[in-house]
Amino acid sequence: MKALITANLDESSRDRLTDDLGMDIEYRPIDDRTERLAPGELEPLLDGVEVFVVGFEGVSADVMDAAPDLKIIACTRGGPDANVDIIAATERGIPVLYAPGRNAVSVADFTLGMLLAVTRHIAHSHHLLHVGEYTGKPRDDSAAGGEREDVTWGVAKGSPYVELKGPELEDKTFGIVGLGAIGRKVAQRAKGFDVELVGYDPFVDGDTMAELGVEKVELGELCERSTFVSVHVPVTDATRGLIGEEEFALMSSETYFINTARGAIVDQDALVAALEAGELRGAALDVYDREPLPDDHPLLQMENVVTTPHLAGAAEEVIDRHSKMVVDDIASVLDGESPEHAANEETLTLASDVGDD
């Protein structure tokens, strides 16, 4: 059985495919390349392939038609519809396996880091030191009068101690938009800061949220009440532009906005306008409506905005996690069992003959 892997897959999972499942694999991980494989490069590699483990390459109907032996598509992402045409795969009887929640821990950790970075000026003060704003000749003892040394940058007007003060998290209201795998991990971590948690998710009932320590509210109420608003929903027709001018208008001038989900969920022009008008206290953003950001983007000029280049899901453990998830499910399909995660379960009865030709 021939398999093509263009995702990053850990060594133990590759060994399972070859040693336990008897596959002849070709490994072309994205980490070894500078770009995704274009269709013209991908299609020849799929000749005779029955199992395709994909990370970020586009798998369109045309690509599937160029791979007539293809029986399983395993996408190592939490949302395979971002690069796999699920409808086309279903029409061709090809199961699409995927890895929901693979980076939930990674993104949740990063979200709390972003929140602290923007509220306590961690990223901005780091930048100011590196560009020489607060460097200078050291003083041996800035206080020079007490029984112990008190060496500081200064505590008077103009000092970082005064100019870069920010709020503690304790006793503030933390609003979580989306209580899926990532939102729930964020809630677990945020509780450690003794915040009041409110959440908006039309697909999660109030009892479930209560078990998470989160009060279920509507989106408008969340925006009005929250000092910190963090977004954790996938991009769908219902969530595209979910946070826009109306939602930002409901937030107070003390609100910090965090987005580690997807840029399309937020009206970025409305966000920029709210920040420029002082209607928000700050923002921490890992995703944008277009990536990479252009050099002259207004977000890059704002001292109260922390920007990172789509890194929230980039923890080392994510590859190990998604590798095990998709290989477990591939093994299940080959054994005639139901996989844990299939985007089109209706195709599974048609996949029992994989490798039997």
The pTM assigned to this predicted structure is 0.93
- Note the pLDDT tens digit of each residue in 133-146: 999 999 888 888 89
Residue among 159, 173, 247, 161 nearest 213 (CA):
173
Determine contact, residues 73/52, Cβ cutoff 8 Å. Answer: yes
> In this prediction, what percent of the chain has a pLDDT beyond 90?
92
Question: Hey, which bits of the chain come out as E strands?
Answer: 2-5, 24-27, 51-54, 72-75, 96-97, 173-177, 196-200, 215-216, 228-231, 256-259, 282-285, 305-307
Which residue type is seen at 339?
P
Catalytic entry in 28, 120, 297, 310:
310
What confidence score (pLDDT) does residue 28 get? 97
Q: What's the mean per-residue pLDDT of the chain?
A: 96
Residue 291 is a catalytic residue: yes
Please provide residue 333's backbone torsions phi and psi, each rounded to the nearest 5 degrees. -60, -45
DSSP secondary structure string for all residues of 72-126: EEEE-SS-GGGTB-HHHHHHTT--EE--TTTTHHHHHHHHHHHHHHHHTTHHHHH
User: What is the reported pLDDT for 168?
Assistant: 98
Q: Which residues pair with 307 in a beta bridge?
A: 285
pLDDT band at 354 (very low <50, low <70, confident <90, very high): low
pLDDT above 80 (res 355): no
What is residue 151's predicted lDDT score, i.e. its pLDDT? 86
Residue type, 300: L
Which of 35, 147, 291, 316 is catalytic? The answer is 291
User: Taking a C-beta distance cutoff of 8 angstroms, is the pair 173, 227 a contact?
Assistant: yes
In the predicted structure, residue 173 carries a pLDDT above the cut 60: yes
**pLDDT score, position 350:** 55
Per-residue pLDDT tens digits for 77-126: 999 999 999 999 999 999 999 999 999 999 999 999 999 999 999 999 99
pLDDT category at 349 given cuts 50, 70, 90 is: confident
Predicted local distance difference test score (pLDDT) of residue 149: 85
Task: Please say if the pLDDT value at position 342 is more than 80.
Answer: yes
pLDDT surpasses 80 at 282 = yes
Structural tokens at position 271: 């966000």
Catalytic residue among 92, 124, 225, 262: 262
Task: Identify the structural domains of the chain with CATH numbers, from first to last.
Answer: 2-102+315-350 (3.40.50.720), 104-120+166-307 (3.40.50.720)
Catalytic annotation present for 262 = yes
Two tokens, residue 160: 């970082």
Q: Is the distance from CB of 218 to CB of 225 less than 8 angstroms?
A: no
